Structure 1
């Protein structure tokens, strides 16, 4: 088969296809904020030039993303897409008219029945002993009862029939409203020009991106405090929602952790020039900086080979729809469709910045805008438990876990429900975590550890003969009580001393005796991490942050923060002391103490 325009003698055949009725979604790749849909259409085309009009495509379809692939002995000559002309919204139907007529007839029958009952009552009321013999009274009463019962039964049947007709009218009106709603959401039509030298069956595949589809990561984090090895069970889930107008029924679903960029280009830097500002006479001269904003990137035109990694013979793209329709020509292959594969739970692709997850089996997501949860994987992870308290702010002890993501899965930022020993503790947030990275997870409060933080003790003195110096010594005591039946380790207690912002004020830490490094982070002329100070058995003190792997040694202690890391035996108590002194000229009033 050679490529070329069809002979002019062929007439154009129009084939109308309603997308949701005549196709099947064979794949959905879901990103954050958009999805890529793959739809398969099987149809027959006669010999000659054909225009396949596929209506009922979503309004949220990105025109520039549309591509067409196919199989069969035919040639694609062009692809266009435009809004479907909206027919007048049907306010009535033959069924609705018939129901309304039925309701009118039933209403008139009810009115007649009620008049008959009223007439019967009037007749009985008019009967008197002067007009009827006593021996005939029984037959009159019996006749009244029988006729009244028939009329009552008929009235009840008619009233029930009226209720049923009203219900049917409500259903038919809802159907009409629903039909107009579907037309509103699925209002795009793709027209594909296909030339067939011989008539036969072909397959068309439409691939397009849609907005109003999204997935986000959610987590259940379950911690077993009695287990030492892999105490954390992390259930990684995807919350999926879409309101594209199309229902995804039994589709293979792929979750993508990266969002594709459309129409982006590298920005340009404009020259950054300096000049001397020339002020009006009588004013002083100053320098000013002139620099324009970064120039906007030029518009990028995407061609078929650039928009898809699947460069398949027999494909076409509806690119540049905003600038006018553009014909692209290619041929169908005769090869049969590859069988659909349903991957088990696995990572379809893993990169340095993104990952692709294949959801096992088939899944259905209606176009309802509601969240639908899918489990990606359940992981058993190691964690290091620790307890932290900042008693100057509050004397409660917070429990947290440093969890290592020892898996192949990239964890996206998302909300998490935290459970400890089977009980719900709190809502938390999991940050973006790459494989083999650690992250902190708060596990609530530990009420079994009690801290006492009394008011600070203060002693003041003055020294100096000519220049008086005022010195104030502050002592803060902290008591820790472990009420548990087992010892606790790595309890961190954080506190701070004041920091001077004036050269006349000197702050000195007396207890614990921590060493202050130079601004360059050197100790004894060498770059070194300062050693913690041992306070007692199982208790060390250090500048806060010194234990971090990437600590800036030069900044340690500059903010006045320090901490103790303690081991407290079962039912044991621990006493800590923080002491510092503040010196200044006696004539100076120090604020902030």
Structure 2
């Protein structure tokens, strides 16, 4: 009986080589602001035991930390490595190129011989003298010259065409050689160890984030001034750009409003110190140049100090046929943090760096047409972006849309309306003296304002107009500013700002009737709830910056006038800056 003590035979590793673009399909793309997440699906056969999967042609802009692998089948993923592939040197020649160069050389020599023959023929003809030639043979000489020269000219034409075709073929061959190393944007390689329980087909998905991909929001806002109900038509668009090196051909695509952040930590507060101010004596003249030089050196050292943050770097004809509808995206709301827009069907976005537009949704929205405050009464989150504004079908202006959550309102300027004329008449200024012992100078300023609605009398709608103006605010206790007209008072002029006095503040902040169809209020009062709840503590800030407004209704061909009057008083002889 013999015992075999030799070790078991080494089991060879089965190597599988794949090219990312050729051997897989993108099954999902999620585009964020500044990056995208790609999911690629591979199908391949494995052998029982250890397999090494090599996938080349992954994009250079791939975020290696985001790379992960998911699989389906009776196998186990052992290890995953992502590395950069160093391209081989570009070949400078090939058998085909050498053959083409040899043919070109032969054609060039043949062309040179033909040109030499033509030159010899011309020389011979020039040497023939009429007195030495029989007149009966002159016709034969000319005929033979013409025939021979024509044959040589044809050879020149054929050879020149052959040389041109050969040059074009040489250029194509050299282009092939230069591109033999592949796209330099696709120079990453993934090596994945897979242990298979059985021989057969398995599926592996590579999920990775890439930079050089983004999307931005854009809007078309169309206003129908003749419609009372939902006068705003808002087309929400997305411009998708990517230059990752991979073309996204017929892929399911989603747009994400979330902005992933990385490396964010709790900020460190810099010391906040208080000290007694002591004037620094002026340096003597002989030391001035040295002091300035030291200060500049300290400034340079501060700018170059290790650990300091780098500066921030400084995208029809009308008919009875129904209109083509805009494709609406499927929206998946994720609370107030983010939202996901799913593009229906498949879409192709090439890696060309150009913006490719897709419509997210077309919405009909309500708006306060007095000053175009639009309410986002939809489930879509509006990202910040530019908007083209159309009023009654005519392009009016470009505007900006801020970040707007569902059920939130935003202001949208609709451009200038030339039919509304606001006239500021010359301001009246009067100066008077008051007081017996402590004399004061009072400066009274009166400004008349007229609003004229020049729309035709046949227009049915009365316009609601808001005019905003301001009076100066004193920054010195010796200077007093008093608003005379309109008769508004500061809500918290007496300094009572407690919660128990909120109801009183609200009462003071309410609009004041100036005349028929005209009320005045502190600017911002229409944006503050005046119901008297605890939220109304913002009422205290109304009027602190001197801004006020008039809200008036003006019928077509109608005029409305109002007066702004204020007084500035100060001790006599006071030089008031800014008056």
**TM-score, with structure 2 as normaliser:** 0.81
Which residue is equivalent to 1:322?
Answer: none
Q: 1:155 to 1:56 in 2, by over 3 A?
A: same
1:296-340 CA-to-partner distances (Å, cap 9, x unmatched) read 9xxxxxxxxxxxxxxxxxxxxxxxxxxxxxxxxxxxxxxxxxxxx
Which residue is equivalent to 1:405?
Answer: 376
Deviation for aligned residue 1:502: 1.5
Deviation for aligned residue 1:437: 1.0
Alpha-carbon distance in 2 for matches of 1:379, 1:82: 47
User: Secondary structure at the residue paired with 1:517?
Assistant: coil
Residues 505 and 539, structure 2, Cα contact 8 Å, conserved in 1: no
1:356 aligns with 2:340: yes
**Aligned ranges for residues 205-244 of structure 1 at < 5 Å?**
205-244=205-244
Deviation for aligned residue 1:474: 1.0
Which residue is equivalent to 1:472?
Answer: 443
1:254-310 CA-to-partner distances (Å, cap 9, x unmatched) read 11111334566x649899999999xxxxxxxxxxxxxxxxxx9xxxxxxxxxxxxxx
Residues 90 and 180, structure 1, Cα contact 8 Å, conserved in 2: no
The structure with more helix, counted as a fraction of residues:
2
Residues 32 and 216, structure 1, Cα contact 8 Å, conserved in 2: yes
Deviation for aligned residue 1:125: 2.0
1:201 aligns with 2:180: no
Q: Greater shift after overlay, 427-436 or 549-558?
A: 549-558
Which residue is equivalent to 2:48?
Answer: 47
Which residue is equivalent to 2:39?
Answer: 38
Deviation for aligned residue 1:409: 0.8
Alpha-carbon distance in 1 for matches of 2:52, 2:250: 30
Alpha-carbon distance in 1 for matches of 2:24, 2:35: 21
Residues 217 and 237, structure 2, Cα contact 8 Å, conserved in 1: yes
Which residue is equivalent to 1:574?
Answer: 560
Q: 1:421 to 1:106 in 2, by over 3 A?
A: farther
**TM-score, with structure 1 as normaliser:** 0.79
Deviation for aligned residue 1:462: 1.5
Which residue is equivalent to 1:382?
Answer: 366
Deviation for aligned residue 1:448: 1.0
Q: 1:169 to 1:442 in 2, by over 3 A?
A: farther
1:425 aligns with 2:425: no
1:516 aligns with 2:490: yes
User: Secondary structure at the residue paired with 1:97?
Assistant: helix
Cα RMSD of the aligned pairs, angstroms, is 2.8
Residues 241 and 354, structure 2, Cα contact 8 Å, conserved in 1: yes
Alpha-carbon distance in 1 for matches of 2:489, 2:262: 55
Residues 59 and 186, structure 2, Cα contact 8 Å, conserved in 1: yes
Residues 234 and 380, structure 1, Cα contact 8 Å, conserved in 2: yes
Which residue is equivalent to 1:315?
Answer: none
Alpha-carbon distance in 1 for matches of 2:25, 2:262: 27
Deviation for aligned residue 1:251: 0.9
Alpha-carbon distance in 2 for matches of 1:103, 1:510: 98
Q: 1:381 to 1:109 in 2, by over 3 A?
A: farther
Q: 1:349 to 1:9 in 2, by over 3 A?
A: farther
Residues 529 and 553, structure 1, Cα contact 8 Å, conserved in 2: no
Alpha-carbon distance in 2 for matches of 1:275, 1:75: 64
Q: 1:172 to 1:415 in 2, by over 3 A?
A: farther
Which residue is equivalent to 1:532?
Answer: 511
Which residue is equivalent to 2:139?
Answer: 138
Deviation for aligned residue 1:180: 4.2
Q: Greater shift after overlay, 95-104 or 212-221?
A: 95-104
**Aligned ranges for residues 154-173 of structure 1 at < 5 Å?**
154-173=155-174
Q: Greater shift after overlay, 462-471 or 21-30?
A: 462-471
* Structure 1 residue runs without a partner (length 5+): 1-6, 278-295, 297-342, 388-400
Residues 387 and 401, structure 2, Cα contact 8 Å, conserved in 1: yes
Q: 1:270 to 1:464 in 2, by over 3 A?
A: closer
Deviation for aligned residue 1:77: 2.2
Residues 328 and 359, structure 2, Cα contact 8 Å, conserved in 1: no
Alpha-carbon distance in 2 for matches of 1:411, 1:346: 15
Which residue is equivalent to 1:129?
Answer: 130
Which residue is equivalent to 2:426?
Answer: 455
Alpha-carbon distance in 1 for matches of 2:507, 2:69: 63
User: Secondary structure at the residue paired with 2:549?
Assistant: strand
Alpha-carbon distance in 1 for matches of 2:175, 2:564: 74
* Structure 2 residue runs without a partner (length 5+): 1-7, 277-306, 308-326, 530-535
Alpha-carbon distance in 1 for matches of 2:167, 2:390: 52
Which residue is equivalent to 1:115?
Answer: 116
Given candidates 556, 560, 575, the residue that maps to 2:546 is 560
Residues 253 and 358, structure 1, Cα contact 8 Å, conserved in 2: yes
Deviation for aligned residue 1:202: 1.8
Deviation for aligned residue 1:53: 0.9
Q: 1:181 to 1:414 in 2, by over 3 A?
A: farther
Alpha-carbon distance in 2 for matches of 1:275, 1:530: 39
1:355-375 CA-to-partner distances (Å, cap 9, x unmatched) read 111111111112222211111
1:30-81 CA-to-partner distances (Å, cap 9, x unmatched) read 1122211111111112233211111111222222222222223333222222
Deviation for aligned residue 1:162: 2.8
Q: Greater shift after overlay, 365-374 or 104-113?
A: 104-113
Q: 1:348 to 1:573 in 2, by over 3 A?
A: closer
Q: Greater shift after overlay, 87-96 or 213-222?
A: 87-96
